[in-house]
Amino acid sequence: MLDNAMQYSHRLLSEVVQPGDCVVDATMGNGHDTLFLSDLVQSSGKVFSFDVQSQALEQTRTLFEKNQHSLDNVELIHASHDQIQKYVSQTITGAVFNLGYLPGGDKTIITHSESTIAAVQQCLAQSQIGGRTILVCYYGHPGGKEELEQLLSFVTDLDQHEFSCLRYEFINQINNPPILLCIERKK
């Protein structure tokens, strides 16, 4: 069966992220990507996870506890992802964004194109050659289509000599299935 967007994002990351690497979860939410990344980079690596809601940090701590998983290689950062460069000085091999609102949380607190694009630019600037920045774009909610349009325009305009950009989506599904964008740094 074909991967859904979340599964495909994990596949794309696991192909390039190695133990000991430094990676970013730009939208921590309930912590599922943070947990996945923490496993990928292992105890010698580091995951920097961002969210603007303290609820996300609490949910993520709870998820790690439930899984009896150490948070030692994770930094949970209560800040907007457009502050990535303030917190991350290392080269990164992977970054993931899950856009939209916190599942089970306040649906009016959503990601916005201006800060999302600023954060993506910071990830690309910190990315190792071959590193991947992945955006899983949910856009069925109010404000989602505007963010998607801005992001598609930004990613489409990236220089093909510097970046390979991929779009992955199911084109016969109803209810706005997420669109995955992957940006791989070439040089």
Ligand X SMILES: C[S@@+](CC[C@H](N)C(=O)[O-])C[C@H]1O[C@@H](n2cnc3c(N)ncnc32)[C@H](O)[C@@H]1O
Residues lying near ligand X in the complex (CB under 6 A) are found at: 27, 29-33, 50-53, 56, 80-81, 98, 100-102, 109, 111, 115
Alpha helices (H) along the chain: 5-14, 32-41, 54-66, 84-87, 113-126, 144-156
Question: Closest CB to ligand X among 22 and 96?
Answer: 96
Question: Closest CB to ligand X among 20 and 142?
Answer: 142
Shortest Cβ 54–ligand X spacing (Å): 10
Shortest Cβ 62–ligand X spacing (Å): 12
Question: Closest CB to ligand X among 38 and 111?
Answer: 111
Q: What would the DSSP string read from start to end of 149-179?
A: HHHHHHHHTS-TTTEEEEEE--TT-SS---E
What letter represents residue 177's amino acid?
A: P
Shortest Cβ 92–ligand X spacing (Å): 16
Percent composition of the chain: helix, strand, coil (DSSP 3-state, to 5): 35, 25, 40
Shortest Cβ 91–ligand X spacing (Å): 21
The pair of structure tokens assigned to 124 is 């690309």
Question: Closest CB to ligand X among 86 and 186?
Answer: 86
